[in-house]
Structure formats: structure tokens, C-alpha cells
Chains A and B, each alone.
Chain A
Amino acid sequence: MLLIRCPYCGERPEVEFRHGGEAHIARPADPATLTDEEWADFLYMRSNPRGLHAERWRHVHGCGRFFNAVRHTVTDKFLATYKVGEPRPAPEGEL
């Protein structure tokens, strides 16, 4: 079970959290101006990397807050967790 650092509460076990998919995919400000293809990109296309992945988590059985994390999808190691609205940290070194 992963150990995840909620930016508000500190380290907690994975069972307190709910995964929320890839991070930094902002909902378009005016969806009506998007083509079907652009809208499909927003709805369905995700990067699914082998390596560092910025993703959303919610401390659903804790403070209830959403936050972002950079996790390595091979090692499951977390590079960082950070609050909504903060920029994605630059990757540092090999994980």
C-alpha cells in the first residue's frame, strides 16, 4: 500500500485516497469553440507515460481536498505532492 503525502494532512496510507486521473488537464474555458476532435482530445486522450506522471488525488477519507502528485509509474515513488493551482515541479534526478 502506497504512502501518500497529502499537502494538507501529511503522510497517510493509500486507502484514505482516491485517484483522480491525469493532472493539469484544464477544462477548456469555452468548450463550444472546440472542434469535435479537440473536445475528444480533452475528454479521452491521456499521456499514460512510463515514468513520471502528474496525477490528481483526493484525500477522500481525510480532509476531502484534491491535490496533485508526480509519481513514477514504474516505481510508484512520489517525487512530490502539491496543491491545486501550483505548477508541476520540475523532475529532479532519476527515480
Chain B
Amino acid sequence: MSNPFRLALGGRIDRKRPLSFSFDGKSFQGYAGDTLASALIANGVHLVGRSFKYHRPRGFLAAGSDEPNAMVAVKRDTARVTPNTRATGVELYDGLTAESQNRWPSLAFDAGAVNDLLSPFFPAGFYYKTFMWPAGAWKRFYEPKIRAMAGLGVAPKEADPDRYLQRHAHCDVLVVGAGPAGLAAALAASDTGARVILADEQSEMGGSLLADDQGTIDGKPAGAWIAEALALLGQRDNVTLLARTTAFGFYGHNHLGLCERVTDHLAAPDPKLPRERLWQVRAKQVVAAAGAIERPLVFPDNDRPGIMLADAAHCFVTRYGAKPGSRALIATAGDDAYRAALALHAAGVEIAAIADLRETVTGPLPEAARALGLKILTGSVVTGTRGRLRVSGATVAPAKGGAGSDIACDLIAMSGGFTPSLHLHSQARGKLVFDAASGNYLPGESLYALRSAGACKGVTALADVLADGFVAGTAAAEAAGFAAGSPRSLAVSALDARPGGFAGALPHGRDPNKVKAFVDFQNDACAKDIVLATREGFRSIEHVKRYTTTGMATDQGKTSNINALNIVSAALERPVPEVGLTTFRPPYTPTTFGIFAGTARGDLFEPVRRTPIDPWAAGQGAVFEDVGQWKRARYFPVGSEDMEAAVARECRAVRSAAGIFDATTLGKIEVVGPDAAEFLNRIYTNAWTKLEVGRCRYGVMLREDGFLLDDGVVGRIAADRFHVTTTTGGAAAVLHRMEDYLQTEWPDLDCWLTSQTEEWAVIAVQGPKARAVIEPLVEDIDLDPEAMPHMSVRLGKILGVPMRLFRVSFTGELGFEINVPSSYGRKVWEAVFAAGQAHGITPYGTEAMHVLRAEKGYIIVGQETDGTVAPDDLGLGWAIAKAKKDFVGKRSLARAEMRNPTRKQMVGLESAVLLEEGAQIVADPTAPLPLTALGHVTSSYHSAVLGKPIALALVSGGRARLGETLHVPMPGGAIAVKLVSPVFYDPEGVRLDA
């Protein structure tokens, strides 16, 4: 197979290693060292995509990561499909399969191209102007249609089968970019002994030198110098070289994110390797050697396949030995494009003409072109192009106006000059300074330890770039604390471009409303769209950007932002610096979600907390639910029981015999010390000083604003030792608050806080037979109700295991909570369960627990409370020790609003049917809309024991309304509810004291 546009010699490809690949189902051949773009160009393929909005045929604009057009999907299998990949960055491997995007039925004939003819109806902001009515149609109709018509590639439906890893790294100097400045900086910095990381996004390091066919450094061709520099760096233990690695973001305090592409370039990746690796680098000093990006010229129809940046044309010829055409027109506003003209000419590409915007053209590069007899048309611009799927000719006319002449060509290499890449500097919140001489923004003062070097700083001549790199590398190493060696200098010969260029829209003498001169190629934004936006009143560049979508595509405006800015500046007749610049945001290039997720997916997404009793419950067929990070047994179905049946059976068992429940997840904090009681006095609303050793109390904890934060039982183990329990979900937050007060407000208090949540397994045995179940197992504790009443705690043993036994109840029945060290939890649980068989003991889960507590009107924090509920609203006024001078939240309870009789108060609801939690409650559902909500349902269950639905609710002035009937409006009609006491079961509480 032949590569009709491949040069016989030259470039960095390996002609001994041919590779086959397919594009849109057709087979081609390329070579090792090619990108997909260079291989397609060598095969004469330029049509590679359709544009976003108008579906115009598109080819390659660039040769690197700034490419906006040539987006393809690379497919390895059905799951490994990467859409929207820049063909200019895809390294060729044997068997690579790529497809074009955004076309139907085919790339050459795309039905969507009708949009190009209809484009007068699609002005800037047409989404906002057109799809306004009827209301609701946007979501149902317009948006899906527009998304199907526009848009780029399609993501695979399957889960990503690849692995992504993350690592942290520290270094003294991180150098971003391995072009001449970056290599020089890395050499200089590593000379001092500093630990250096050199990262570059490309497969090979060398940057612009990889395509340099002219310059010599130290008397050597650029390619040879790169090889020597990399060999030297590679030998140094203090240097880490990361090719295929994009420094995509600067994240504060010199913390940078780097994405290393590990296997995307391999035909058969080792499955042991991750696809990509995220490097989180903390660098003492950063040298940004990010280079510069060439600007397109904005002339009519500047988007046809075959029209590309001059630097890209140069790169395809010199680096890849691929001719991007046979007859080229060079369109330029500066010297740089002459480099492309010389290289193309040397490769046998006919140079039809060089149309240079400048009236006077001098300097080494233009002179070299003149010496070869290349035709230079000064003061000239391209005013139009032709060719449907590939450019076939252009009209070149005087910039001042006047008749143009037609020039046949299949390649237009254009250059508006170079824009320094300020991304990292700007992300690091460095200042940007407008340089009137070059018309560019340059990096100003840097806020963090980051300095720019080379082309990204506006330095252009090769000798200057290398020198700047050495200076930056040395300075960075010195700033990181290393002594600099002797300064380096290199003999350089190069044909350097003199400063110059153009930004904005070129004059063309045609109707500006009819021509399409593209600014943002990926989002199909034209010069006229930007002018229209300014005419419609947009002044801020940030607004123009969003209205026209210029710079908002996946390339983030790398090639378009400065042209757009200059068009706005001209339209508003305001200087460029006054128009401002849009913000550079990470990532520099699109970055996979995979590297951010890393290994945190599937089972490793989040830690799972399990109790020691969990495996037993699983063995019993329990159905689990997530409570925070905990897995909790929700119910224990027997046979074919559904949840309702299982919960009903579990509830009846607790009320009639005994139930066993795993309460291990309760938060547990040990508060110990001489001032432990005083500390709790200040934290809780309750009084603790007089609580006797061996007794418990239900504690209520507020925030300073007076609203309920958490609740739980606190037992006094000794005069200076309290066993505090919290809600399952609140444990960490409560400890944090306690630590906050203890460390910062009351450091004088002598006590310590220790989280014991995972130290104790908690086995709740609840029901009238609870005492009978545990009595035979308990040692050293008198369980007699006189000796151990409700709300008491005793130390003893069970099965020889040390135990804290609480007599507490969250069910309203006689109940015990057996606390044993976690490692004994399963053993004790099984022993209690075995002992309970004779008494009909039944395991129950969180669902039955919820029903049982609701039957008693016990609240659950986060269900009956929402951060606006005060203790009195819940009927917990009794838990507030009014005699205490102060506690957290006390002052807020004294506010007048807290005594407002219309505050929402907790009540019970009786209704004929089960209510929905969260449903609103109104007085009269037939009143005109909008109805006034008096409150809402907080908890709702079917009570098997009571044989009816029960609910808890917060209702305005609820306690005064007991007995009233209100209504819950639902889609099927309003449900009448009767307000009753929230305690549905055993309101006298006699069962607790059994």
C-alpha cells in the first residue's frame, strides 16, 4: 500500500514499521511515529468531520492539542470507545479503528448540511430567540431535537472497563512543556541537584524542535540536540520524564493535576497497566514552558478541508513527512508562515503564492522565500475560497480593496501569528499584561511559585527561548533552595520570525452579513455572529462568549479567543485591554472522568461500615439498607414474606414476646474527666450534675440557634465517666462539635472525648420477655426491676465477657441494650438469640424499629426535625433544665419567636389510609389556590399492632388543634386526618417499667 502524499525521506516516522488502521471502515497504512492526522494526510484524506452547527465539511486546522475540527471516535471494542478525540493527538498503532462524527448518512454526504443553507435562520443566540414557545416544548421537543442534530460524538453505553490510577508526587521544580524552553529549564534546574519533573503532552519530547528542519543548536541539528538533552536528563536520578502527560490544571499552593496517558498508544496494552494515571504534583517551583498557539486568519470560508494553520502544514511536512497538499497558497500576516512555505517548497509542494497582509515584507524568512523565487503578494488577503469537500481555489485581493484574482490550490496555510499559552499562569491567578507591540497578553506578576519561559512568555527567537529556559530553570531551582552552577549558553543558528501578526477579522469587501468567516471552528461561530452580539448590546467579553458560544467548545477557544476579542474590540471601538479577557479554566484539554474517579468505583466507591452481627443477619436472609456508610438490616423476611408482612410480624413479636435488634451503629462517645458532668451540662439542655452513677438520661443537644441537633441516651458509668450515645448519622458531627467547644471555648474544662462507636457491639433485646431472655446469661447484675429500673446502666458480664448493660427502650417495651466489645458481638448475639428461642425471640430490623418508635411518638432526628425545630415544638420542653444558667442554644430559646403559638408542633395523625411522608397538611382543600400549608407529615407507617395507619406530623399550633380534622391534598383527592396525641401506644408508659 502506498502513501501518495508521503515523502520518501525525512521526518520522525519509522518507515520500517508500517501500521494499518481504518477510518470510517476504510483501511489505510501509516507508520510508527504518525498521528492519525498525519497518517490520513499522507493518504490524501482531509475530510474528517462535520461541523457542530452547520455540518460543514471539515479537515485538519492544527497539528496538536489546539485542533478544533478533526474530532473522531477511537474504538477498541464496544465499551472502549473514546468520542471527541483530536485526530492530531491520536498516536497511530496497528489496527487502530477511528470513525468520524456528527454526520448522517455519511461523511461525504451529510443530510445535516442543510443547516448550512438554512444558516440565515440560525444567527447568534438563535436558541434563545427561536425556541421560546409553546411553554414546555423546550424540554420535550426542541432540546432533544437540537441535541440530536448538533453535538459531537456518542459516548459508549457500557461501563468503562479500563483502570485508572492516581499517585502523588513531590518535586522541587516541575517543568511543564518539553519544547526548547522546557528542555533548557529542566537541564538547568537538574544541574543543581533539584528534583525535577518534566511533563509534556506529546508522545515525544521536543515541542517545536521536533518539526525544526532549519535550526542548529551547539552545531547540531535540532533533532540531535533533543536526543542528547533527553539522554542526559534520562540518566539523572533527580529527573522524572513524563511524556504523554498533560498538566491540565493548577489548583492552588503549587498543586498541579497531570494526566498521563499510559496505554492509549499501544496496539495491545498490557492488562496490568492502567489506561491513564493522575499525578497530583506538589511542586515547590513551577516553570511553565507551554509554548504558543498559532491563530487562524479570519477570512470568508476559511474552514474548508485543506485550509490549515501554517505551523501545522509545516509540522506535517517536516515532522511526519506527510504533504498536506500539492499546490499551496500561503496566507499570512507575519513571518512565521514563510517557514511553512520553505518547507512545503522543499518537499515538492508547489507554492502558488504567498498572500501577505503587510505592505512591506522583509527579514530573513521572507528573503529566503524570495531567493527561491516564491511569489509574494504583499498587502493581500484571501477574500473567499471554493471547493466543497476540499479547498480547490481562493480569491486573493488587495487588503485596501479592489478586484481579486483566483488562485487554484488544494492547501491554504494561514498564519495570524502566535498566541502565548497563558493557561497555567492564569489558573495560578497570575496577572496578565497586554503587550501593545505584539498585540498579545503576556504573563505578568505571578502569585504563586510559577514562572513562565519561552514562547508562552512572548519570547520567540530560538536562541532567546533557550536562554530564557535556562534562566527560568536556574531561578526556579535557586528559589527551591539549590545553588546554581555556571550559566549555560549555546550557539544557535536559526531563521527566526520577527514579531508581527494580526488578530481579528480581515477585510474582504463583501457583504459582511452573508459571508461565513469562522472564528471558533468547533462551535461554528463566525465573525458576523460576534459583531451581531455587540450590536444586540453585549459589551462584556464574558457575555459575548456565552451568547455566541465562541471559545466554549472542547478546545476552550485555544485558536479563537484572541481573534474574537479583537473583533469585539473593533466593533465596540474600544482598545483590546478594555474589553478584557475570558477566564482560563482547567482542564487545559478534555480530561477523562476516569482519572478523577481512580479506583474509587464499584465496591471501592465508598467505605462500607458493617457491624459484627452483619454476617449473621445476612445468613438469616435479612434485607439491608444504607444508613450513611452503614449497612443495616432493614427486615428479616421469612419464606415469601414481603416487607409489610415481615415488619408486621416483627412488630407483633416485640409487643407480645421479645425482639432482638442490632443497635451497634449508634454513635458512642466516652466523656471522661473531673469536669465531664459540667461539660455535658453545657452541651446538653439537660442537667447532669445530679444524675446518679448507674442511671441514664435522654439527652437533647441544640445548636446555638436553639434548634435540635441530636439526641440520645447518656449513662453515668462513674462520677467522672459518661457513656454518651448519639444518632447513627450524627456521631461524627456531634463529636466534632463537642471537640470544638472543649478545645476552643472551654479549654479550662478537664475532660476527654473518645469515639467508641466501633468499640462496642450493641444488642437490643426488647419486649415483655426481654428480662427472661437475658437473665440466665447475665453475671454480676441484679435485673430485678427494683434493683435495675428503667433508664439505668450496670457493669457486669455476659458469657464471661465484660458488658455495659443499659435498661433503655426505643420501642416502649421493657428493654435492654447489651454493650459488649465488638469482637464478642456475634458470639453474644447468637447466645442471646439461642436463649430467646424458648420465649419466641424474633430478630427485627430498622423498619420495625421505626414503626415501634412511632407508635410511641419517639422522634427521629432528621425525620421529625429539619434544622428549624426547637425542643418545645417536639414536646421535649421537659428535657430543658431551666435552672441551668447556660447551655448551647439556651439564649436562642429565649427569643420571642420561640413562644409563638403558631410554631409547628409535633402531633399524631389518624387517617383511613396510609399517608405519604412529606405530604402537606391544609385546613380546607377546596379553598382557592394557592393553599396555605399548615404543616407536613414527617413519619407514616401502618401499625400492625394498632391495626391502622399512624403518622407523625409537624402542624402549626398543632397541640392546640388536637381533635381537629385537617386535610392532606393528594393527586387522588384530599385525605382527612384527625390530629391526636403523638403517643399512640401505651400512653401511660406502664410497659416500660415492667
Binding site for B on A (CB under 8 A): 1-3, 13, 18, 20, 26-27, 30-32, 34, 36, 39, 43, 56, 58, 60, 64-66, 74-77, 84-85
Q: Are A58 and B704 within 8 A (Cβ)?
A: no
Q: How far is the CA of A58 from the CA of B736 in the complex (A)?
A: 9
Q: Are A76 and B252 within 8 A (Cβ)?
A: yes
CB-CB < 8 A to A84: which residues of B?
A: 743-744, 747
B48 CB to closest chain A CB, in angstroms?
Answer: 39
The 4 closest A-B pairs by CB, nearest first: A31-B891, A3-B253, A1-B255, A66-B743
Q: Are A2 and B705 within 8 A (Cβ)?
A: no
Q: How far is the CA of A60 from the CA of B744 in the complex (A)?
A: 14
Q: How far is the CA of A20 from the CA of B744 in the complex (A)?
A: 11
A32 with B251, Cβ < 8 A, contacts A27-B745, A84-B747, A85-B747 known: no
CB-CB < 8 A to A31: which residues of B?
A: 886, 890-891
CB-CB < 8 A to B705: which residues of A?
A: 43
CB-CB < 8 A to A20: which residues of B?
A: 740
Q: Are A39 and B743 within 8 A (Cβ)?
A: no
Q: How far is the CA of A50 from the CA of B97 in the complex (A)?
A: 53
Binary contact track B866-904/A, C-beta < 8 Å → 1, others 0 = 000000000000000000011000111011100000000
Contact of A2 among B253, B280, B743 (CB under 8 A): B253
- Return the chain B residue nearest A44 by Cβ: B705
CB-CB < 8 A to A30: which residues of B?
A: 885-886
Q: How far is the CA of A59 from the CA of B280 in the complex (A)?
A: 21
B447 interface hit (Cβ, 8 Å): yes
Residues 708-763 of B at the A interface (beta carbon under 8 Å): 736, 739-740, 743-745, 747
Q: How far is the CA of A56 from the CA of B704 in the complex (A)?
A: 17
| Besides the known contacts A3-B282, A77-B447, A84-B747, 7 further A-B residue pairs in the complex with CB atoms under 8 A apart | A1-B252, A1-B255, A2-B253, A27-B745, A30-B885, A43-B704, A66-B744
A1 with B736, Cβ < 8 A, contacts A27-B745, A39-B892 known: no
Can you sample 17 A-B contacts with CB below 8 Å? A1-B251, A1-B252, A1-B255, A1-B280, A2-B252, A3-B254, A18-B736, A20-B740, A32-B890, A32-B894, A34-B891, A36-B895, A43-B705, A43-B892, A66-B743, A74-B429, A84-B747
Q: How far is the CA of A39 from the CA of B447 in the complex (A)?
A: 39
Q: Are B255 and A3 within 8 A (Cβ)?
A: yes
CB-CB < 8 A to A74: which residues of B?
A: 429
CB-CB < 8 A to B747: which residues of A?
A: 84-85
Q: How far is the CA of A10 from the CA of B429 in the complex (A)?
A: 26
Q: Are A66 and B895 within 8 A (Cβ)?
A: no
Q: How far is the CA of A39 from the CA of B898 in the complex (A)?
A: 15
A31 CB to closest chain B CB, in angstroms?
Answer: 4
CB-CB < 8 A to B255: which residues of A?
A: 1-3, 13
Q: How far is the CA of A18 from the CA of B733 in the complex (A)?
A: 12
CB-CB < 8 A to B891: which residues of A?
A: 31-32, 34, 39
Q: How far is the CA of A19 from the CA of B226 in the complex (A)?
A: 47
CB-CB < 8 A to A75: which residues of B?
A: 429, 447
CB-CB < 8 A to B745: which residues of A?
A: 26-27
A76 with B253, Cβ < 8 A, contacts A31-B890, A31-B891, A32-B890 known: yes
Q: Output the residue of B743, B747, B885 with the most chain A CB within 10 A.
A: B743
Q: Are B739 and A58 within 8 A (Cβ)?
A: yes
Binary contact track B403-432/A, C-beta < 8 Å → 1, others 0 = 000000000000000000000000001000
A58 with B740, Cβ < 8 A, contacts A1-B255, A32-B886 known: yes
Q: Are B251 and A65 within 8 A (Cβ)?
A: no
Q: How far is the CA of A77 from the CA of B894 in the complex (A)?
A: 41
Q: Output the residue of B252, B255, B280, B891 with the most chain A CB within 10 A.
A: B891
Q: How far is the CA of A1 from the CA of B252 in the complex (A)?
A: 5
CB within 8 Å: A-B pair count: 58
CB-CB < 8 A to A34: which residues of B?
A: 891
Q: How far is the CA of A36 from the CA of B705 in the complex (A)?
A: 12
Residues 239-266 of B at the A interface (beta carbon under 8 Å): 251-255
Q: How far is the CA of A3 from the CA of B254 in the complex (A)?
A: 9
CB-CB < 8 A to A60: which residues of B?
A: 736
Q: How far is the CA of A86 from the CA of B962 in the complex (A)?
A: 55
Q: How far is the CA of A60 from the CA of B252 in the complex (A)?
A: 21
- Return the chain A residue nearest B890 by Cβ: A31
- Return the chain A residue nearest B755 by Cβ: A64
Q: How far is the CA of A21 from the CA of B148 in the complex (A)?
A: 47
A65 with B253, Cβ < 8 A, contacts A3-B282, A39-B892 known: no
- Return the chain B residue nearest A74 by Cβ: B429
A32 CB to closest chain B CB, in angstroms?
Answer: 6
Q: How far is the CA of A15 from the CA of B883 in the complex (A)?
A: 43
CB-CB < 8 A to B282: which residues of A?
A: 3, 13
Binary contact track B111-146/A, C-beta < 8 Å → 1, others 0 = 000000000000000000000000000000000000
- Return the chain A residue nearest B896 by Cβ: A36
B747 CB to closest chain A CB, in angstroms?
Answer: 7
CB-CB < 8 A to B885: which residues of A?
A: 30, 32
- Return the chain A residue nearest B447 by Cβ: A75
Q: How far is the CA of A84 from the CA of B896 in the complex (A)?
A: 35
Q: How far is the CA of A7 from the CA of B741 in the complex (A)?
A: 19
CB-CB < 8 A to A39: which residues of B?
A: 891-892
B657 CB to closest chain A CB, in angstroms?
Answer: 45
Q: How far is the CA of A13 from the CA of B281 in the complex (A)?
A: 12
- Return the chain B residue nearest A78 by Cβ: B253
Q: How far is the CA of A64 from the CA of B754 in the complex (A)?
A: 11
CB-CB < 8 A to A1: which residues of B?
A: 251-253, 255, 280
Q: How far is the CA of A20 from the CA of B252 in the complex (A)?
A: 20
Q: Are B429 and A66 within 8 A (Cβ)?
A: no
Q: How far is the CA of A43 from the CA of B447 in the complex (A)?
A: 35
Q: How far is the CA of A3 from the CA of B447 in the complex (A)?
A: 15
- Return the chain B residue nearest A84 by Cβ: B744
CB-CB < 8 A to B886: which residues of A?
A: 30-32
Q: Are B739 and A66 within 8 A (Cβ)?
A: yes
CB-CB < 8 A to B740: which residues of A?
A: 20, 58, 66
Q: Are B429 and A65 within 8 A (Cβ)?
A: no
CB-CB < 8 A to A36: which residues of B?
A: 895-896
- Return the chain B residue nearest A64 by Cβ: B739
Q: Output the residue of A20, A26, A64 with the most chain B CB within 10 A.
A: A64
CB-CB < 8 A to A27: which residues of B?
A: 704, 745
A1 CB to closest chain B CB, in angstroms?
Answer: 5
- Return the chain A residue nearest B256 by Cβ: A1
CB-CB < 8 A to A77: which residues of B?
A: 447
CB-CB < 8 A to B894: which residues of A?
A: 32
- Return the chain B residue nearest A26 by Cβ: B745
A69 CB to closest chain B CB, in angstroms?
Answer: 13
CB-CB < 8 A to B280: which residues of A?
A: 1
A50 CB to closest chain B CB, in angstroms?
Answer: 14
Q: How far is the CA of A27 from the CA of B740 in the complex (A)?
A: 12
Binary contact track B439-470/A, C-beta < 8 Å → 1, others 0 = 00000000100000000000000000000000
B60 CB to closest chain A CB, in angstroms?
Answer: 37
A19 CB to closest chain B CB, in angstroms?
Answer: 12
Q: How far is the CA of A56 from the CA of B739 in the complex (A)?
A: 13
Q: How far is the CA of A35 from the CA of B339 in the complex (A)?
A: 78
B432 CB to closest chain A CB, in angstroms?
Answer: 16
B685 CB to closest chain A CB, in angstroms?
Answer: 14
Q: How far is the CA of A36 from the CA of B891 in the complex (A)?
A: 9
Q: How far is the CA of A39 from the CA of B888 in the complex (A)?
A: 13
Q: Output the residue of A18, A27, A56, A75 with the most chain B CB within 10 A.
A: A27
CB-CB < 8 A to A18: which residues of B?
A: 736
- Return the chain A residue nearest B888 by Cβ: A27
A21 CB to closest chain B CB, in angstroms?
Answer: 10
B649 CB to closest chain A CB, in angstroms?
Answer: 43
CB-CB < 8 A to B253: which residues of A?
A: 1-3, 76
Q: How far is the CA of A34 from the CA of B253 in the complex (A)?
A: 42
Q: How far is the CA of A26 from the CA of B747 in the complex (A)?
A: 12
CB-CB < 8 A to B429: which residues of A?
A: 74-75
CB-CB < 8 A to B743: which residues of A?
A: 65-66, 84
CB-CB < 8 A to B890: which residues of A?
A: 31-32
- Return the chain A residue nearest B897 by Cβ: A36
Q: How far is the CA of A66 from the CA of B746 in the complex (A)?
A: 13
A40 CB to closest chain B CB, in angstroms?
Answer: 9
